[in-house]
Amino acid sequence: MILDLTTDFSLPKDKFDAIVLFQVLEHLPYPESEQALKKLGIATKKFLVISIPYCTNT
For residue 14, what pLDDT is reported? 95
Count of structural domains, the chain: 1
Cα–Cα distance between 40 and 10 in angstroms, integer?
9
Q: Assess if residue 40 is contained within a domain.
A: yes
Element (DSSP H or E) covering residue 37: helix 30-43
Residue 55: per-residue pLDDT: 82
Predicted pLDDT at 54: 87
Rounded to 5 degrees, φ, ψ at 40 are -70, -35
Q: Which domain holds residue 35?
A: 16-51
Q: pLDDT of the chain along its 58 residues, tens only?
A: 889 998 999 999 999 999 999 999 999 998 899 999 999 999 999 999 999 988 888 6
C-beta separation of 47 from 18 below 8 A = yes
- CA of 18: how far to CAs of 24, 29, 40, 54, in Å? 16, 24, 10, 23
Identify whether 4 is part of a domain.
no
